[in-house]
Amino acid sequence: MTISHADIHFNENGTPYATQFDDLYFSDAKGLDETEHVFLKSNRIIERWHSSQEQNFVIAETGFGTGLNFLVTVLHFDLFRQAHPESPLRLHFLSIEKFPINVADLTQALSFYPQLRKYCEELLRQYPLLISGCHRLTFLDGAVTLDLWFGDVQQVLPQIDVPPQGLVDAWYLDGFAPSKNPEMWNEFLFQHMALLAKNQGSFATFTAAGFVRRGLIAAGFDVQKCKGHGKKREMLAGVFNSQEPKTLRLPYFKRGNATNTSSPKVAIIGGGLAAANCAYALSKRGIKANLYCKDNALAQGASGNTQGGFYPHLNATAGHPSQIHATAFTYASRLYSSLLKSGAKFTHQWCGTIQLAFNDKVQQRYQTLADNKTWPESLIRWVDSKAASQLANVPLPYPGLFIELGGWIHLPELITALVTQANAVVNTNHQLVSVKQKGNSWQLNWHNGHQTEADIVIYATGSESSQLAPLQQLPFRLVRGQVEQLKSENELAKLATVLCHKGYMTPSFNQLNTIGSTYVKEDTSCEYRLSEQLQNLEKQQKALQNCQWIDSLTVGQEGRAGIRCSTPDHLPMVGAVPNITEQTQQYQDLYKALPASRYPAPIDQPNSFVLCGLGSRGLTTAPLCAELLVSQILNEPLPLATHLLDALNPNRFLVRDLKRRLI
Average pLDDT (535-549) is 93
pLDDT at 248 over 80: no
What confidence score (pLDDT) does residue 366 get? 96
| β partners of residue 434 | 445
Lowest mean pLDDT: which of 173-177, 359-363, 577-581? Answer: 173-177
Predicted confidence (pLDDT) per residue in 620-657, tens digit: 999 999 999 999 999 999 999 999 999 999 999 999 99
pLDDT band at 8 (very low <50, low <70, confident <90, very high): confident
d(CA 412, CA 303): 7
Predicted confidence (pLDDT) per residue in 506-529, tens digit: 999 999 999 999 999 999 999 999
DSSP 491: G
Q: What is the CATH number of the domain that holds 189?
A: 3.40.50.150
Task: For residues 95 and 196, state if they share a domain.
Answer: yes
Task: For residues 91 and 190, state if they share a domain.
Answer: yes
- Is residue 151 in some structural domain? yes
Alpha helical stretches, state H, 157-240: 187-196, 210-219
d(CA 510, CA 617): 24
Average pLDDT (335-353) is 97
Task: For residues 112 and 215, state if they share a domain.
Answer: yes
Task: For residues 224 and 361, state if they share a domain.
Answer: no
Residue bearing the bigger pLDDT, 248 or 461:
461
Secondary structure of 543-605 as H, E, C letters: HCCCCHHHHHCCECCCCEEEEEEECCCCCCEEEEEECHHHHHHHCCCHHHCCCHHHCCCCCEE
What are the backbone angles phi and psi of residue 94, rounded to the nearest 5°? -105, 130
> What's the gap between Cα 515 and its chain centre?
28
Task: For residues 429 and 503, state if they share a domain.
Answer: no
pLDDT at 14 over 80: no
Neighbour-count burial for 232-254, b at 16+ CB within 10 Å, e otherwise: eeebbbbbbebeeebebeebbbb
Q: Decide: residue 231, CB within 10 A, 0-12 exposed, 13-18 middle, 19+ buried.
A: exposed
- Is residue 337 in some structural domain? no
> What's the gap between Cα 564 and its chain centre?
21
What confidence score (pLDDT) does residue 184 get? 83
Task: For residues 160 and 279, state if they share a domain.
Answer: no
pLDDT at 22 over 60: no
- Is residue 315 in some structural domain? no
DSSP 509: B
- Is residue 451 in some structural domain? yes
Q: Are strands 456-459 and 604-612 parallel, antiparallel or unpaired?
A: parallel
Task: For residues 357 and 218, state if they share a domain.
Answer: no
- DSSP for 110-178? HTT-GGGHHHHHHHHHHPPPSBSEEEEEEEGGGTEEEEEEES-HHHHGGGS---TT-SEEEEEE-SS-T
Q: Which of 566, 598, 629 is the last residue of a domain?
A: 566
d(CA 571, CA 324): 9
Quick check: 68 and 59 in contact, CB under 8 A?
Answer: no
What confidence score (pLDDT) does residue 388 get? 98
Which residues have CB under 8 Å from 545's CB, separation 6+?
none
Q: Are strands 16-18 and 8-10 parallel, antiparallel or unpaired?
A: antiparallel
Residue 487: strand, helix, or coil: strand
Q: Which of 211, 240, 269 is the last residue of a domain?
A: 240
Residue 16: strand, helix, or coil: strand
What confidence score (pLDDT) does residue 146 get? 98
pLDDT at 70 over 90: yes
pLDDT at 220 over 60: yes
The 10 Å Cβ neighbour count of residue 364 is 11
Q: What is the CATH number of the domain that holds 643?
A: 3.50.50.60
Task: For residues 55 and 12, state if they share a domain.
Answer: yes
Q: What is the CATH number of the domain that holds 554?
A: 3.30.9.10
Q: Which of 539, 566, 593 is the last residue of a domain?
A: 566
Average pLDDT (103-115) is 88
Average pLDDT (206-211) is 91
Closest Cα to residue 499, out of 483, 513, 482? Answer: 513
- Is residue 200 in some structural domain? yes
Predicted confidence (pLDDT) per residue in 145-177, tens digit: 999 999 999 999 999 999 999 999 999 998 666
- Describe the strand order of the beta sheet including 348-349 as a list of residue ranges: 308-310, 407-409, 348-349
* C-alpha atoms less than 13 angstroms from C-alpha of 639 in its C-beta half-sphere: 27
Number of helices followed by number of strands (H, E) in the chain: 18, 32
Quick check: 105 and 16 in contact, CB under 8 A?
Answer: yes
pLDDT at 25 over 90: no
The pLDDT > 90 percentage for the chain reads 83
Task: For residues 505 and 440, state if they share a domain.
Answer: no
Task: For residues 107 and 171, state if they share a domain.
Answer: yes
What confidence score (pLDDT) does residue 108 get? 87
Task: For residues 40 and 174, state if they share a domain.
Answer: yes
- Is residue 318 in some structural domain? no
What confidence score (pLDDT) does residue 3 get? 76
Quick check: 648 and 625 in contact, CB under 8 A?
Answer: yes
Which residues have CB under 8 Å from 457's CB, separation 6+?
266, 267, 269, 435, 442, 444, 607, 608, 609
What confidence score (pLDDT) does residue 19 get? 62
Q: Which domain holds residue 263?
A: 251-302+413-476+570-659
Task: For residues 27 and 145, state if they share a domain.
Answer: yes
| β partners of residue 145 | 92, 138
What are the backbone angles phi and psi of residue 280, rounded to the nearest 5°? -65, -45
- In the chain, the largest separation of any two C-alpha atoms, in whole Å, equals 80
- Is residue 347 in some structural domain? no
Which residues have CB under 8 Å from 165's CB, separation 6+?
198, 199, 245, 246
pLDDT band at 21 (very low <50, low <70, confident <90, very high): low
Q: How many domains does the chain have?
A: 3
- Is residue 342 in some structural domain? no
What confidence score (pLDDT) does residue 460 get? 98
Predicted confidence (pLDDT) per residue in 422-477, tens digit: 999 999 999 999 999 988 899 999 999 999 999 999 999 999 999 999 999 999 99
Q: Decide: residue 159, CB within 10 A, 0-12 exposed, 13-18 middle, 19+ buried.
A: middle
pLDDT at 11 over 80: no
Name the average pLDDT for the chain.
Answer: 93
d(CA 252, CA 604): 11
